[in-house]
Amino acid sequence: MQDLDKIIWRDALTLVDFFASWCGPCRMMHPVIDRFKEEMHGRADVYKVDIDDRDTAEFTARYRIASVPTLIFFRRGEVLWRSSGVIGYSDLVGVLEELEKTERVEQS
């Protein structure tokens, strides 16, 4: 739990994939998330959180995860983007690109 808090409070853009092993749409998203992690070459850190893991229950409750898959982009503890359900690879890349533009403006 503390590790997850440390992860989302860093300066890096961080994508957290909330999933469940029994969830069909989550299983469909795994290859998309894995490809995103590999092909974005560190532009965003990617973590998967199993909502059925008791060690992450408080974290899952804090962000009111009511359906899976739920994807959330964080930076410095702030939720920058959130979506539930299946999302395509190119759509996910588009979200990252928009967030990078926004973050550049804020840093200027």
Helix residue ranges, H only, the chain: 2-8, 24-39, 57-62, 89-107
List 7, 23, 80, 93, catalytic entry: 23
55 to 23, 37, 58, 89, 94: CA distances (angstroms): 19, 24, 8, 29, 32
Has 47 been annotated as catalytic? no
45 forms bridges with which residues in the sheet? 14
Contacts of 55 (CB under 8 A, 6+ apart): 1
Has 26 been annotated as catalytic? yes
List 15, 26, 29, 68, catalytic entry: 26
Q: Which residues are catalytic?
A: 23, 26
